[in-house]
């Protein structure tokens, strides 16, 4: 039987955070005049200078969560709730209340985003250096000083600044282009970097190399990072804390080692058991049966209940709040204690360098 101690709100209550830089409160993204939810009442706090990894199957709402942090939801989507940004000077702004001009400045100067697939983010007719100049001019930054900083960033990412700045995007490899995009996202010195599948199109070696570089950048520039990915072992190499999404909502949030070694949600445990790793023989890996729900067909109660081996009538009827399972670990599952006891994990540890993370559809 699950503990009766639950959090009063979805995870992210200000009382649970010590030094948040971003707080999302009851954030919802809807389409079709509010009939279709692609982000469903999500609350989460991002602590200053931490790396939060957000994982889940394809279509779980990860990219919407990332876009919501910058109020960058594609039309005709509608974002409601609160997205609070706490500046280093102690002031707080609600991102959803910013004017168009304030939002334009916020998106590059305070919170920046790196999208999946660098090639689609660059104008193919403009050299990389032109993109840096255009970004600096658009934000009234000093171009000469900004380009000097761009050279430093490119060097930090083990790129030749002269070559990269004088190249068109197609003249660089995929890994070089992705690193150039990361440098571009940092040229205005934001405090938060949100990355949406930034390494998905790259080979395994380049993925690991970029993760190492991101760790160095975080420490050098005191960055806060939100890393969105379907690849759980990949983000485990970087994250301080991890959040699992399912059916457009967060279902478990915990420090990395606790989530991997002592997760309480049946979906998280199934996700871990479906992840390729060296500890588990191939025959012990288990795909997650069934499919996650579509936005127009999310079941009542716990959204994972139709796929969950532990589901009861309570699970099917009552949407679980987050249970406080200790040490910064919260799980939205009525039966989290039973899940820990009955759903065994098929590994001793996850080696981020020993797996390709599996297919996007299933982690």
Domain spans in the chain, listed from the N-terminal domain onward: 122-189
- Alpha-carbon distance 192 to 106, whole Å? 11
Examine the pLDDT at 6 and tell me if it is beyond 50.
Answer: no
Question: Whose CA is closest to 305, among 282, 328, 334, 279?
Answer: 334
Mean pLDDT for 111-129 is: 88
What distance, in Å, lies between the first and last C-alpha atoms of the chain? 29
Say what the pLDDT of residue 200 is. 79
Query: What pTM, to 2 d.p., does this model score?
Result: 0.88
Output the average pLDDT for the chain.
Answer: 87
How far, CA to CA in Å, does 35 sit from each of 21, 28, 80, 190, 338? 31, 12, 14, 35, 34
Least confident of 31-35, 55-59, 222-226, 351-355: 351-355
pLDDT score of 81 more than 90: yes
Phi, psi torsion values for 194, nearest 5 degrees: -105, 125
Q: Name which of 4-18, 130-144, 171-185, 187-201 the model is least confident about.
A: 4-18
Q: What is the DSSP string of 158-194?
A: T--HHHHHTS-GGGS-HHHHHHHHHHHHHTT--SEEE
Instruction: Give CA angle at 185 (84, 206), nearest 5°.
Output: 120
| Per-residue CA distances from 272 to 192, 236, 286, 335, 359 (Å) | 28, 11, 9, 18, 13
pLDDT greater than 50 at residue 42: yes
What's the average model confidence in pLDDT over 99-123? 89
pLDDT at 263 exceeding the cut of 50: yes
- How many angstroms from the chain centroid is the CA of residue 101? 26
Strands (E), the chain: 20-31, 36-47, 51-55, 78-86, 92-94, 111-114, 192-196, 224-229, 241-246, 249-255, 323-326, 329-331
pLDDT in tens, 169-221: 999 998 999 999 999 999 999 999 999 988 877 888 888 888 999 999 999 99
pLDDT number for residue 110: 97
Confidence class for position 358, pLDDT limits 50, 70, 90: very low
Which pLDDT belongs to residue 349? 58
Q: What is the pLDDT of residue 11?
A: 47
């Amino acid at each position: 039987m699950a503990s009766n101690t639950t959090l009063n709100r979805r995870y992210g209550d200000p009382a649970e955070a010590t030094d948040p830089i971003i707080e999302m409160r009851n954030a919802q993204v809807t389409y079709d005049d509010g009939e279709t939810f692609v982000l469903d009442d999500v609350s989460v706090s991002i602590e200053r200078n931490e790396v939060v990894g957000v994982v889940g199957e394809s279509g779980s709402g990860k990219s919407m969560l990332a876009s919501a942090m910058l109020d960058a939801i594609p039309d005709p989507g509608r974002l409601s709730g609160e997205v609070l940004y706490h500046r280093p000077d102690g002031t707080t702004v609600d991102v959803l209340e910013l004017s168009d001009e304030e939002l334009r400045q916020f998106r590059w100067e305070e919170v920046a985003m790196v999208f999946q697939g660098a090639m689609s983010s660059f104008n193919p007719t403009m050299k990389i250096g032109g993109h840096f100049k255009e970004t600096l001019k658009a934000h009234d930054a000093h171009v000469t000083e900004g380009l000097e900083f761009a050279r430093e960033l490119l060097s930090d990412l083990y790129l030749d600044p002269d070559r990269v700045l004088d190249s068109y995007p197609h003249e660089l490899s995929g890994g070089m282009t992705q690193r150039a995009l990361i440098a571009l996202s940092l040229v205005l010195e934001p405090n938060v970097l949100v990355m949406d599948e930034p390494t998905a199109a790259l080979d395994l070696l380049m993925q690991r190399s970029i993760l190492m570089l991101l760790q160095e950048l975080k420490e050098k520039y005191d960055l806060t990072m939100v890393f969105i990915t379907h690849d759980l072992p990949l983000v485990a190499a970087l994250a301080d804390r991890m959040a699992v999404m399912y059916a457009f909502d967060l279902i478990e949030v915990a420090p990395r080692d606790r989530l991997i070694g002592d997760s309480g949600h049946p979906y998280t445990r199934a996700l871990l058991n479906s992840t390729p790793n060296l500890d588990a023989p191939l025959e012990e890996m288990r795909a997650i049966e069934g499919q996650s729900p579509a936005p127009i067909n999310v079941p009542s109660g716990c959204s994972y209940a139709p796929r969950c081996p532990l589901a009861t009538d309570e699970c099917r009827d009552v949407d679980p709040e987050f249970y406080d399972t200790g040490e910064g670990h919260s799980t939205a599952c009525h039966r989290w204690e039973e899940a820990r006891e009955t759903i065994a994990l098929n590994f001793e540890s996850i080696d981020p360098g020993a797996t390709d993370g599996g297919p996007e559809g299933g982690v």
